[in-house]
Amino acid sequence: MPTIYKPQKKRNVRPLTDRRAERQDIYNTIIWIKLRKAKIMEQPLCEVCLSNGIVKSAEHVHHIVSFMREKNPLKRKELAYDFDNLLSVCTNCHNEIHNSSKENGI
């Protein structure tokens, strides 16, 4: 039977804006990767779920105060790598946090 080659579907990839590129630059550093791993090792359960009496694994590390709000680039990196500004969260809680911040215009 002959092989039929179908054209590949175009992936809907958003172009990197300057702000998004800057965020990715931080998230791709060895410092962030190690910091994220340390946070998950220290608190492997979702901190939001735990506060509600639910035990669920954390899959994400969320910045309590967004480092992108900071205008000064040096303070921005300082806030991005601040261990005390991190929260271990599950996917559902992480999505809820971001959805509620978008609704509130944050």
3-state helix/strand/coil string of the chain: CCCCCCCCCCCCCCCCCHHHHHHHHHHCCHHHHHHHHHHHHHCCECHHHHHCCCCCECCEEEECCCHHHCCCHHHHHHHHCCHHHEEEECHHHHHHHHHHHHHCCC
> Tens digits of per-residue pLDDT, 24-83?
999 999 999 999 999 999 999 999 999 999 999 999 999 999 999 999 989 999 999 999
CA dist., res. 41 & res. 37, Å (int): 6
Residue 37 and residue 79: Cα distance in Å, rounded?
17
pLDDT band at residue 20 under the 50/70/90 scheme? confident
Give residue 106's pLDDT band: very low, low, confident or very high (50, 70, 90): very low
| pLDDT confidence band for 103 (50 / 70 / 90) | low
What is the per-residue pLDDT for 83?
98
